[in-house]
Each structure stands twice: as structure tokens, then as C-alpha cells.
Amino acid sequence: MAKIRGAILVDVEACKGCGVCIPACPQDVLDLAKEVNGKGYNYSYMKNPEACIGCANCAIVCPDGVISVYKVKVA
Amino acid sequence: MAEITIQDIIKKENLVYTKSKVMTDATLSYCPGCGHGTAHRLIAEVIEEMDIQSQTVGVCPVGCSVLMYNFLDLDMQQAAHGRAPAVATAIKRLMPEKFVFTYQGDGDLAAIGTAETIHACNRGENIVIIFVNNGIYGMTGGQMAPTTLKGMPSSTCPYGRDIEMMGNPLKMTELVAQLAGTYYVTRQSVHSPRNVRRAKKAIRLAFENQKLKRGVSFVEIVSNCNSGWKLPPVKANEWMEENMFPFYPLGDIKVDGEIVSK
């Protein structure tokens, strides 16, 4: 069976670190970084990138639309 | 099988979701976690999917979303406080081929703009009204709004809304559903993936109704105001589920001109 692998790209400088994407992820991929961006927010990042399935749940709840989602089928 | 890296996945041809092109690159002025951003994005996505960007005119309210014209790459008109449905009426009557929507908060639509809202809905103007209800005046510092829940604290009722002294919260959406001019009335939220998908379908249906000249489509979005409620964003969403949804139940209230829920 083909396996789906996903990944997200976060616009770090636009992320406000609200954390709404974290409970939206069914695979528990996301977390807030310990580092901060230029505005002083702890931005969202993939702490567990292997588990991402590219469902885009995080991106559709992101109030600032900073998440882009990519998905590939791995044979 | 060779191990696939993140760089192999993040390529243009694998993109499945990104911010709509109808949104500008301006950073949203809202607080972290505010539902306004999601609501803006859903409107932008619907307009992009229907390919009506050049035919759409939006009317901004007064409130947090007063700067909406900076965030959506559309023709926008600023209305005086509460008067967005009246301005939208004029725009739609002068340019009937345009798609016209208003975007209003609860202080704008349910307090100072009650008359305009009720009469525009009663006349059955062929417009879309997006009503973002967070139960508080967010922009001015979290004062009590007509939609503030019973017992809910705000900066002007710090011990909670006292019904005897301050009156009952107003269910604007149920009110306009009673009017003959409304065709589609629904209440949605944008705090979880499932609700975002439903809200997007509702907004899409509202714009489709306008295309068919069916009358007012009224979409309420129950939203959070984590700064006004003095809660972190995720906690504010949980508080909203526990307290706002029992009083403001989600779902369609009027579909195709027929009331489907009480």
C-alpha cells in the first residue's frame, strides 16, 4: 500500500505562536519552538516530521495562514 | 527504498494547501489565535474557488476587522459603525452584477447596527452578511456587548453579566431567521478543522445563493476573543466550546427559505 508522507512549511516570521495548530494535528506532529521569531513569538514547527500525513488540518485552522502543506505518495 | 527527506516533500508540485491568493501579504493585525484571520481566509478561499475576485465588493465594519481591506485583495468599502448592510444595499442595487458581502462583528451588527441589519434582512436584499460573534467588544478593551453571555465577565461587568440589571444576551441569528427576506441563515465556528470545513461550505453556499438572487444569506461565525476573555488561545477555544455553544448552538437555522431548527 502506498504510504503518504507530508510536510509543512511555516512562515516563521508571520507565525504568532497561538498554538491552535497543535491540538488540530491528528498525528501529534507540531509543537511550539523554544526559539522565538523576530516578533518574540515561539513559532510552530514539526517536532515529529516523520508522522506528518499532509492532512492540512493545521493549515486550515491557522488564523494567520502561515502554514503551507505538501504531500507525496511513497511507493 | 531510499529514505525520503523533508526537502524532497517540500516542492512546488507537492503543494496541497497554502494561503489563498485573494489574501494580501500583509500580516494580520489580530491577536494570536483570533478567529477573524480564519474567517477572512475562508472568504478569500471561497472567492478564489468561485473565481469572482474581480466581481466582489466587500463592506468592512467598525471593530477589530476595520482594517480588513488591507488583508483581502478585493474592492472594499468602509461603512460607518453598524451601517454595513445599508451600504451593501446601495452597492448591490447600483451594481446588481457584483457579489456584495458585509463582514461585521457583534458590536457592529447586533448593537449599533441592529436597525440596519434587521431592515436589510427584512427587505431581502441580495447580499451576504458574515457575522462574527465573540460575545464582547474586542477592539475597545473587552466591554460587554449585547451578545455577552449570562454571567460572563467583561471589563464593564467584571462580576459577570447580571440579567436583571443588564438584560438578556441577544440571539441575532435566530431573530433574522424569522424574517421573510432571509434565505439562508446558519451558525458556524472556526476553532477546529471540522468546523472550519463546515464554515467554508456555509460561506460558499451563501455566495452561491447570491448568484441565484435568493435574498439575504446570513452566516454567523461564533469566534473567540482570547484577549478580551483573558485566556490563552487554545484555552479560549475550549471555553467557547463549553460556554458559547450551549447558548449559541451551531448548525443551519434556515435553509432554502425554510426554518429547519427552532
Q: How confident is the model at residue B262 (pLDDT cuts 50, 70, 90)?
A: low
Mean of the pLDDT values across residues B18-39?
93
| CB–CB contact B10 A70 (8 Å) | yes
Backbone φ/ψ region at B225: left (φ over 0), alpha (ψ -120 to 50), beta: beta
- List chain A residues with CB under 8 Å of B71: none
Averaged pLDDT score across all residues of chain B: 93
Q: Is B198 on the interface with A (CB under 8 A)?
A: no
- Name the percent of chain A lying above pLDDT 90: 87
Q: Is the pLDDT of residue B177 over 90?
A: yes
User: pLDDT tens for residues A3-38?
Assistant: 889 999 999 999 999 999 999 999 999 999 999 999
- Domain A3-74 sits in CATH 3.30.70.20: yes
Q: In this structure, how many other beta carbons lie within 10 angstroms of the beta carbon of residue B212?
A: 9
From A35's Cα to the closest Cα of chain B, the distance in A is 17
User: Which A residues in the span 12-51 are in contact with B, Cβ-Cβ below 8 Å?
Assistant: 14, 16-20, 22-24, 41, 46, 49
Averaged pLDDT score across all residues of chain A: 92
DSSP class of B191: S
Total domain count, chain B: 1
B85 within 8 A of B113, measured Cβ to Cβ: yes
Domain coordinates of chain A in residue numbers? 3-74
For residue B38, give the nearest of B26, B30, B49 by alpha carbon: B30
User: pLDDT tens for residues B61-105?
Assistant: 999 999 999 999 999 999 999 999 999 999 999 999 999 999 999
Residue of B nearest to A74 (CA): B4
Spatial separation of the C-alpha atoms in residues B121 and B156, rounded to whole Å: 30
Q: How confident is the model at residue B6 (pLDDT cuts 50, 70, 90)?
A: confident
Packing angle between helix B84-94 and helix B114-123, nearest 10 degrees? 30
Per-residue model confidence (pLDDT) at position B5: 84
B24 domain residue, yes or no: no
Q: Is B32 on the interface with A (CB under 8 A)?
A: yes
Q: What is the CATH number of the domain that holds B98?
A: 3.40.50.970
- List chain B residues with CB under 8 Å of A61: 38, 190-193, 196
Domain housing B246: 30-259
Q: Is the pLDDT of residue A1 over 80?
A: no
Q: Which residues have a Cβ under 8 Å from the Cβ of B238 and sit 6 or more positions away? A: none
Per-residue model confidence (pLDDT) at position B9: 87
Q: Is the pLDDT of residue A75 over 90?
A: no
Spatial separation of the C-alpha atoms in residues B86 and B113, rounded to whole Å: 9
Mean of the pLDDT values across residues A31-60?
93
User: pLDDT tens for residues B216-233?
Assistant: 999 999 999 999 999 999
B167 domain residue, yes or no: yes
Per-residue model confidence (pLDDT) at position B261: 79
Q: Is the pLDDT of residue B248 over 90?
A: yes
Per-residue model confidence (pLDDT) at position A3: 85
